[in-house]
A and B are shown apart, each in its own frame.
Chain A
């Protein structure tokens, strides 16, 4: 009975309703536009030299920035972040070769990232190449 029925079944020319396709598509576009976040974060760029040798190869004349908690020292002289910026600007690092642009960055235990970031930003903004000084273990 079932077989017979299926054999007799007529093939109709069914049209796919496409009238609402544009509505669906535009709804999807609106969804994507609303759900997308066009966010660009603000950063500072620092290309830190890797390896111990890089740091050891620097001469004693290499400028050094020390961070001890909230205090900043430049070549063992205390100063604030604005003075550090002025001192680094006076060095005119941007015009020098990369090997001559190295600034050592040393920090004491417990130094918060906020201060570290500020120092890193000032050095990078003045064309310095930051070399981190590791603590001897």
Chain B
């Protein structure tokens, strides 16, 4: 028996690669459909810290940011005032039916004074948004 196994010839096994292209293109289509184009504005800011922050699972309807110089951004576009944020958020949430669709991400520089950020927070609330204030976890 041992002799027989020693004589056994190793045949080259062809790997079927014909469908690899199809699989790969299907994966690409999957990634394209599932991916979301980032609307994060490139703003310079230092996030505040708290031990109560947690990863958010909800999809945000809009993104509002206030940078270190006090400039306000709505979905990456610079706006002139908090009133513009209110109208923008109101328009974005016009067709929403559930609370889950009302989440608005809010990023703000930690050092900014109340006079700068509070009107923006109030504008989001007036526009109907649930505020998701971004921060870092305090160790």
Contacts and interface: CB of A to CB of B under 8 A. Distances in A.
Given A112-B113, A116-B117, A45 B50 contact: no
Contacts of A40: 55-56
Contacts of A29: 24, 27-28, 31
A48 B131 contact: yes
Interface in B1-56: 17, 20-21, 24-25, 27-28, 31-32, 35, 38, 48-56
Interface size class of A (residues with CB under 8 A): 35 or more
Contact of B137 (A26, A42, A113, A124): A42
B105 A22 contact: no
B28 A25 contact: yes
A6 interface: no
A132 B20 CA distance: 58
A67 to B, nearest CB: 8
Interface stretch (A72-80, A94-102, A103-111): A103-111
Contact of B54 (A21, A36, A43, A111): A43
Identify the 3 closest CB pairs spanning chains A and B, nearest first. A25-B24, A48-B125, A117-B48
Interface of A: 18, 21-22, 25-26, 28-29, 32-33, 36-37, 40-51, 67, 107-114, 116-118, 120-122, 124-125, 132, 134
Given A22-B21, A42-B56, A112-B110, 6 more contacts: A26-B20, A43-B55, A48-B122, A109-B115, A121-B50, A132-B125
